[in-house]
Amino acid sequence: MSYESRYFPRAEMACKCGCGVCDVSEVLLQKLDALRERMGHALPVRSGCRCENHNREEGGKEHSPHLAGAGRVCKAADIQVGTPRQAYYLVGEALDLGFVGIGPNTQKGFVHLDVADSLPRPALWTY
């Protein structure tokens, strides 16, 4: 990771299992920084990079854009939101900034954002 994010430190983007995997797409970080600027408040990362084991534990797909390590670069982040209204505004700004995978989950309080280029994209879904 050569791009230094202004708002998303390495520790926040690293795999939450504690393995330390943190190979993040520069495009993802640049778009997240721009999103943070537009929103005007912190955007806590619920899930960024994931190793294969943690991805399975989270119920992630086999080709999840969250996967990092072993030659893969994480291209996704799940951003914590407090209300469906916050999710609505976040999704609008994310679309405008060119995120190509957007999946709000208002029941669990997060919005998945990705810049995947090897999956069917653009795509918008709900959980």
Tokens found for residue 40 = 């005007």
- DSSP bridge pairs for 113: 77, 102
E strands present in the chain: 45-47, 76-80, 101-105, 110-114, 123-124
Count of domains observed in the chain: 1
pLDDT digits (tens, 9 = 90+) for 56-73: 999 999 999 999 998 999
Nearest to 28 by CA among 91, 120, 84, 112: 112
pLDDT digits (tens, 9 = 90+) for 1-30: 467 999 999 999 999 999 999 999 999 999
Residue 2 lies in a domain: no
Range of the domain at 43: 10-124
Tokens found for residue 119 = 């999956």
Question: Which CATH number is 88's domain given?
Answer: 3.30.1380.10
Residue 1 lies in a domain: no
Residue 113 has pLDDT above 70, yes or no: yes
Residue 78 lies in a domain: yes
